[in-house]
Amino acid sequence: MFFILLDPTVISANYRRIVRQGDFKFILGKSVPIPAMDTAEKITDEFIEVEYFLKNKNRVKEIFLQPVPHEHLLKKSAQKQPGIPLNILIIGVDSLSHSNTKRKLPKVYKYLKNELRSMLFNGHSIVGDGTTEQLTAMLTGLGELEQYESRRHHKKPKPVDGWSWIYKQLKETGYLTGYSGDDPGIGPWQYRLMGFTNPPTDFYTRPFYAMAAKLIKKPNICLGSRTISKVQFDYIREVFDMFKNKLKFFFSFN
């Protein structure tokens, strides 16, 4: 990301990294000045907060995210051969059933069915109670209660890092992996579970959205001039564009 100050009402600006400290905390790094109007500042951090100092003496804050082409990602190689070398993108929308999708999103449904020739799982049923049960089964192959204990307020709960995540298998076959959920307050593995100690995927946006949650006043769903969903999808598009020659698995949840 190259940052250039173009607004003449801005006197100066600083940026700070948004740094993950587990799933339930983040900190802001040291404040770094952004150069004047006629220069560009290359920023290699994934998540940043920018503070602008205006001529009218007001201050404005914005946050940004970007995928970063770290060397270890570019050089990533497969330990095992992938079965079918396909890029995989799963877009999940919480609390939206199959029937409700057909009623509320008819154009999307028609496009999926007729243009993309998608496979529609008409016989699929739920595998448990709530979002956590469904996504756990989808991404691990086991139900939540078949895993070791991770529920808060239960005996000796542990973070979910050791569960049988599909991400682990995909990484062995050379995939870059990503997970992005846009509402950290009700994260599937954080709301009532212990969350992750370490990021489960190569691209993991939870620190950014934790910061965003402090800036957005509900029922507003916008971050600056963009909806949260557009912020999410723009980021995923950047990941796929940046790593065109790498296999990718990305799970997006809104």
pLDDT means per 10 residues, the chain with 254 residues, are: 66 92 96 74 89 90 92 82 85 86 91 88 79 94 95 96 96 94 94 97 97 84 88 96 95 94
In degrees and rounded to multiples of 5, residue 167 shows phi and psi of -55, -40
Between 228-242 and 206-215, two packed helices, what is the crossing angle to 10 degrees? Answer: 150
| pLDDT of res. 34 | 83
DSSP 110-159: HIIIIIS-PPP-TT----SSSHHHHHHHHHHSS-GGGSPP-BTTSSS---
Check: CB of residue 28 under 8 Å from CB of residue 19: yes
Q: Which amino acid belongs to residue 86?
A: L
| pLDDT of res. 133 | 94
User: What pTM was computed for the model?
Assistant: 0.90
* Segment holding 211, helix H or strand E: helix 206-215
Distance CA 193, CA 26 (A): 18
